[in-house]
Structures are given as C-alpha cells and as structure tokens.
Amino acid sequence: LTDVYSSSPALGRYFRSAQVVHFSNESSTVFYQLEFVLPPPTEGFMENIMNPDFLRNILRQNIYDED
C-alpha cells in the first residue's frame, strides 16, 4: 500500500503511511489505517480527493495495472 499511494499522482504528495491494524486468518481480512498530511482547507478537497471511494479506486487501478 505504501508504494501504491506514495506513487499516486493524485495522492502521493499527501500520503504519509499505511499500517495494518488487524488481520484475520479465518476470513483473510486485513484492516489498515492510511495516514495523509492534508493541506490547508480548500473547498471540495475532503469531499473529492479524500473520499473513501476515490482512495479505493486508486488501489483498484493499481491492481488492474499489474495484471
């Protein structure tokens, strides 16, 4: 995750770290925490750039690009 988000043109400059918070062997589920450094408040930044769907789509795009 660190490589994915730090190399993202949209998020790389804001990305600080990724950390596994919990891992379940039973369901192969991993919960992780992403940390970003945010710029001074700007209109629409949190709604657009830091939107959870946008963050997931960057990860999905990276997975698709590796195939």
Residue 41 has what pLDDT? 73
Q: What is the pLDDT of residue 45?
A: 77
In the chain, at which residue ranges do the beta strands (DSSP E only) sit? 15-24, 29-36
The model's pLDDT over 39-57, given as tens digits with 9 standing for 90+, comes to 777 777 777 778 889 888 9
* DSSP state at residue 40: S
Parts of the chain with a pLDDT under 50: none
What does residue 59 show for φ and ψ, rounded to 5 degrees?
-65, -45
> Can you give the pLDDT at residue 39?
76
pLDDT for the residue 51: 84
- CA atoms within a 13 Å half-sphere pointing along the CA-CB vector of 31: 3
- CA-CA-CA-CA torsion sign (67, 51, 1, 14): positive
How many CA atoms lie within 13 Å of 48's alpha carbon, on the beta-carbon side? Answer: 6
